[in-house]
Structure 1
Amino acid sequence: MTAPSRHVGGTNGFPLSAPLLSVENVTLEYQVPGRVVRATQNVSFDVWEADRFILLGASGCGKSTLLKAVGGFIAPREGRILLDGHPVHGPGPDRVVVFQEFDQLPPWKTVRENVAFPARVSGHLGRKEAAERAEHFIEKVGLTRFADAYPNTLSGGMKQRVAIARALAMEPRVLLMDEPFAALDALTRRKMQEELLALWEEVRFTLLFVTHSIEEALVVGNRIALLSPHPGRMRAEINSHEWDLTSGGSPAFQAAANRIHGLLFEEAGADGASHE
Structure 2
Amino acid sequence: MNNSVLIELNNTVLGYKDGHQPIISGVNMQIMTREWTCILGRSGCGKTTLLRFLAGLLKDNLIWQGNLITHLNGELSQHVAYMAQQDLLLPWLNVLDNVCLSFKFASQKLSEPERQKAVLLIEQVGLTKHIEKFPDQLSGGMRQRVALARTLMQDKPLVLMDEPFSALDTVTRHQLQNLSATLLRNNTVVLITHDPQEALRLADKIYLMQGSPSKTHSFPVPDTKAPRKLCEEIAQLQQKLIEQLEQEHVGD
The structure-2 alpha-carbon separation of the partners of 1:243 and 1:168, relative to structure 1 and needing over 3 Å to count, comes to closer
TM-aligned CA distance change 1:85 to 1:109, over 3 Å: closer
Alpha-carbon shift at residue 246 of structure 1 (Å): 5.0
Match of 1:273 in 2: none
Distance across 1 between alignment mates of 2:24 and 2:108: 33
Partner of 1:254: 235
The one of 207, 211, 215 equivalent to 1:233 is 215
Per-residue Cα deviation, 1:2-30 (whole angstroms, up to 9, x for no partner): xxx334xxxxxxxxx3x112223221112
- Pairing partner for 1:70 from 54, 65, 77: 54
Number of aligned residues: 247
Tell me what 2:10 maps to: 24
Sequence identity (%): 28
Deviation at 1:126, TM superposition (A): 4.5
**Can you list the C-alpha shifts for 1:119-140, whole angstroms capped at 9, x where unaligned?**
4543778533431221121111
Q: Write the distance in 2 (CA, Å) between the matches of 1:77 and 1:66.
A: 11
Change in CA separation of 1:125 and 1:49 when aligned onto 2, cut-off 3 Å: farther
- CA 1:244–1:150 in 2, change beyond 3 Å: closer, same or farther? closer
Of the three residues 173, 184, 205, the one matched with 2:168 is 184
Whole-Å Cα distance in 1 between the matches of residues 135 and 248 of structure 2?
A: 44
The structure 2 residue matched to 1:42, chosen from 26, 31, 35, is 26
The residue aligned with 1:137 is 121
Label 1:243 to 1:170 Cα distance change in 2 as closer, same or farther (>3 A): closer
For the structure 1 residues 241 and 111, does the alpha-carbon distance in structure 2 shift closer, same or farther, using more than 3 Å as the test?
A: same
**1:150-171 deviation digits (Å, cap 9, x = unpaired):** 1110111111111111011111
Q: CA deviation at 1:79?
A: 1.8
Greater relative contact order: 1 or 2 (C-alpha under 8 angstroms, separation 6 or more)? 2
Distance 2:118 2:33 in 1: 23
Match of 2:69 in 1: 82
Q: 1:6 maps to what in 2? A: 2
Q: CA RMSD in A?
A: 2.7
What does residue 112 of structure 1 align with?
A: 96
1:108 partner SS: coil
Provide the rounded CA distance (Å) in 1 between the counterparts of 2:159 and 2:149: 11
Q: Secondary structure at the match of 1:187?
A: helix
1:51 maps to a residue whose letter is E
Opposite residue 98 of structure 1, the aligned amino acid is M
Partner Cα distance (2:122, 2:163) in 1:
21
